[in-house]
Amino acid sequence: MGELHELGLGPLAGALRAGEVTPLEAADHFLARIAAHGDLGAFAEVTGEAARAHAASLGAPPADPPALWGVPLADKDLTARAGVPTRYGSRLSVEHVPDVSDPLALVLDAAGAVSLGKTAAPEYGLTGFTETRIGPPARDPWGPENGAGGSSGGAAVAVAVGLLPAAPASDGGGSIRIPSATVGVVGLKPSRGRVRSGSGMDSAHGLSVAGPIGRSVDDVALLLDVLVDGAVPYATRPPGDGPFADAGRADPGALRIGVTTVSPWEESMKIRLDPRARGAVDTAIGILDRAGHAVEDAPWRPTGYAPMFLALWQASAARIPVPDEALGELEPISEWLIRAGRALTSRQLLDALAGARAFERATITAFDAYDVVLTPALALPPRPIGWFAQDDPELSFRRQCEYAPYSSWVNVAGLPALTIPVETSGHPVSVQLVGRPGGEATILAVAAQLEAARGPLPWPPLG
């Protein structure tokens, strides 16, 4: 069978359901790997004793086990789990132990998963890097002097080195796709409203949604099926097709694929596309062209994006329940975003929301001719720890945009998007596939073609 962490989510779940591996054996295997790789900063909290007790209590597989029966997973440190410290990456919350679990944790419980703890996240998930004052930074296992991106940095690292078979995460401006591309795994941001337990409908313009990270297209598709969890009564998009696990194995037919390296941040700052990032796009174009797709440049010149998105991000931060008198205890960028958000006038917020709706309509219209849009995943290679200049909030925000200028616009438009490594000589380099509203199945199918042409994903040196 090989090492359990090398199986992937689907085969591991199958082995557990068949009784070939016990939940306790699986938990012990992944807990040992977590202990051996603690210097990568993937976990904010490890609940080994509780995980072993839960796994041991499961006994033999039931006659009709749920999809993830006995599978070791972990919650992002922004997801409350009853009885487990949930710190939100902040020293203001280091003593916080919730009494009630968030819906996302309950969905994973219902699917039969065994929680091993909490993966690391930056303070309140506000940044695209995972470096906090309450724990070690999440490190890129391909080069540990570099950070792993964020805000789901811990989850991406855990998947990259086999501390977890896959990971639930969340994405408000790239928080799944940025770290997944940084460390060379697959990350999928669903359409707004697709995932019942993390639909985005409680954030400004529905920016943040829950989604999966895995080492393969099959892994993220299977975990997406679990997260979707049936009908979505308050979805802005219909639940759509499924199971998504079938999508990656299906022939999508000949599609029309648009390509753009344009970023809406270019109006307000200089965006430099690294040659390897451009090369990964060219590699993907070649694969898709040989697969029979019609691949062409997609004309797109968005305007007015930067001030609109910044206002939305500030408004989202303003709702974080930190009293004004405690703001000085936050990390500088968190304090800056929250103070600015609370200073917004109602007119400014309404203008930003109206601008976001106009951007959503214009973007979907601009890409309507294409089944999938291909972009770079990141503009730059992984950045050294400390490069994002936490002590200078405006510089930090600008550097995050320069590093990942292709991410946040997808959240504003509410579209599904997936990042996948296509270059694996040396550090993996990824591209991004953006789908139509509700188009997860299509981008999974196209990603599977890229994956098949690329070959097996290598393990990082620290894996």
Alpha-carbon span 247 to 250, nearest angstrom = 5
> What is the side-by-side order of every strand in the sheet holding 43-46?
43-46, 114-119, 72-76
Catalytic residue among 151, 197, 216, 263: 151
Task: Tell me if residue 175 is catalytic.
Answer: yes
Residue 267 burial (10 A CB sphere; 0-12, 13-18, 19+): middle
Q: Is the C-alpha dihedral spanning 386, 184, 404, 156 positive or negative?
A: negative
**Helix axis angle, 346-366 to 305-318, nearest 10°:** 130
3-class secondary structure, 111: coil
**Residues ≥6 apart with Cβ < 8 Å to 425:** none
Q: Which residues contact 354 (CB under 8 A, 6 or more apart)?
A: none
**C-beta separation of 207 from 201 below 8 A:** no
3-state secondary structure of 397: helix
Q: What residue has token string 């062409």?
A: 296
Q: What does 437-461 look like in DSSP terms, one character per residue?
A: TT-HHHHHHHHHHHHHHH-SPPPPT
Place of tokens 């790239």: 174
Choosing from 76, 118, 152, 263, the catalytic residue is 76
Q: Which two tokens stand for residue 398?
A: 């600008």
Per the CB < 8 A criterion, the answer to whether 339 and 313 are in contact is no
Give the pair of three-digit tokens for residue 418: 């997936």
**Active-site choice (115, 175, 191, 208):** 175
User: Angle of helix 393-403 relative to helix 332-343, nearest 10 degrees?
Assistant: 100
Dihedral of CA atoms 250, 428, 264, 78 in degrees, nearest 10, equals: 80
Residues forming the active site: 76, 151, 175
